[in-house]
Every structure is written in structure tokens, then in C-alpha cells.
Amino acid sequence: MQPILIAGPCVIESAELLDTVAQELVRINQTLGTDIIFKASFDKANRTSISSFRGPGIERGLQMLADVKAKHGLRLLTDIHEAWQAAPVAEVCDVLQIPAFLCRQTDLLVAAAKTGRTVNIKKAQFLSGQDMRYPVEKARDAGAREVWLTERGNSFGYNNLVVDFRNIPDMLDIVPTVIMDCTHSVQRPGGGGDKTSGDRRFVPAMALAAKAFGATGFFFEVHPTPDLGLSDAANMLELSKLEALVAQLL
């Protein structure tokens, strides 16, 4: 069985960026026989600084994502931060993602579950893999038909993350689908002062190590020119390198 693959820019910067990334994902799908899910955020509500770019907002952002689906035929994933966002996002997106910082927020989990869409819950940086059974229970109790879990590292002192890959098999005891977030896991939160820094050199290693531990999916934030990205610039993988890395994971 092929792994679940998720890729796209961290945040919706422009329609042109979405189109560029979507075209490449379609090409990779055709070349490798994959079914990459397109990911982008309409609002980065947890940026470090008040001056940081957040995105176009929910109304314009969802329209831009809908345009990607209509033009390129890609399935869509985006994250929600408040319970009221679940219903309108579910009208457009196939997968609703719960941010790591918010994975214990009961109302958010319940609202996402009630839409009937797949719910991808990112593991908080302060929780173990075994702890994630409780967010999953909340979503399932509210009627979620399919729940995924995503590993994205744990806080290691200040301004750093490490990945305990044992969390992957631990979470596979809870749900059948565990995804490795290969780009947020190389973050250094607050490491850039008023923004998060990171080191994309480690992205391929994160993916291959997660594969060895049994991950059933992989998540990549990608950008044609990552250093010019408006969010998570230091972590995003160069779009041109995605195909070769995905091929190693199949």
C-alpha cells in the first residue's frame, strides 16, 4: 500500500504560488503513480510575531483552495484553529487538520469530527505518542469516521525540537494512519528571534527514519524558493527536490 502523501506551501501567499506547486504535484502524481494531497493554510494564527504574515483569511483562502481543486483535481488539506471554522472548511477540503498546539482542545476536535471529513491531529510538542489516544477518543466519540495522527517532534529545552521516533509505533497502536511531518520537525521555535528558524538539510533524514519506524504517511511543506517564503522559510523543502524524496518513500 502506498503511503499517504501531503505537500504544499506553509501558507497561501498568492494564487500564482498555489498554481505552481499544484502543477508540480500533479506532475509527480502522474510520474510516480501517487496521490499527493495539496496542503496550504489560509491563516497562520500562531505566528511568533504580531507583524508576521498570516495569510489571506478564511473566505478568500478557501476560494483559492477551491480553485486549486477545480483546476488540478487534487485533494485538499488545511488546518483550523477555531471550532466555527470546521463547517465552512469541510465544504472545500477533504482533510481537516488540528494544529499541534491545539490538539487537546475538545470543542475544536468535536467540531472537526462532526463534519464527517477525515481529521488529522498533529501531536503536541509536549505530549508522547501514547498520550494521543485521548484526542483520538474525543474525535471518535463525536463521530469521526477516519482519524490520522501526525508526529512533528517534541520540545527539547528552549528553541529546539527533537523527534522520538518511538512515537510512531506507539501511535500506530491507536490509529492505522500515522504521518511524519518532515518539515516542521526540523524547526527551531523562536530560534530566529521574532520568527521560527530551522534546518531543511534534515528533512530527507526525518522522512527515511520515519519510514524505518513504520510511518504510513509523510507531510512536506514545499516552496519553489523556500528562503523567500513568507512563513517557515527555513524549514520548507525546495519544490524541485520533492519528487526524488517521494520516490525513496514508495
What are the residue boundaries of the structural domains of the chain, listed by start? 4-249
Q: Specify the CATH class of 4-249 in words.
A: alpha beta
User: In 83-121, which positions are buried (b, 16+ CB within 10 angstroms) versus exposed (e)?
Assistant: bebbeebbebbebbbbbbebbbbeebbbbbbbbebbbbb
The region that residue 32 occupies, defined by phi over 0 for left and psi between -120 and 50 for alpha, beta otherwise, is: alpha
Considering only the C-alpha atoms of the chain, give the largest distance between any 2 of them, rounded to a whole number of Å: 44
Q: Among 34-38, 41-45, 69-73, 141-145, which is the least confidently predicted range?
A: 41-45
pLDDT of residue 170: 99
What's the chain's average pLDDT? 94
pLDDT of residue 71: 98
The whole-angstrom separation of Cα 92 and Cα 48 is 28
Name beta bridge partners: 45: none
The whole-angstrom separation of Cα 188 and Cα 124 is 15
Inform me whether the pLDDT recorded for 191 exceeds 90.
Answer: no
The whole-angstrom separation of Cα 58 and Cα 56 is 7
pLDDT of residue 48: 66
Alpha helices in 54-202 (DSSP H): 58-72, 86-90, 106-114, 133-141, 167-172
The whole-angstrom separation of Cα 4 and Cα 28 is 14
Give the pLDDT confidence of 50-66 residue by residue, as tens digits: 767 677 899 999 999 99
**pLDDT level of residue 194 (50, 70, 90 thresholds):** low
pLDDT of residue 50: 78
For the residues 127-144, what does the mean pLDDT come to? 98
**pLDDT level of residue 229 (50, 70, 90 thresholds):** confident
Inform me whether the pLDDT recorded for 33 exceeds 90.
Answer: yes
**pLDDT level of residue 81 (50, 70, 90 thresholds):** very high
**pLDDT level of residue 193 (50, 70, 90 thresholds):** low
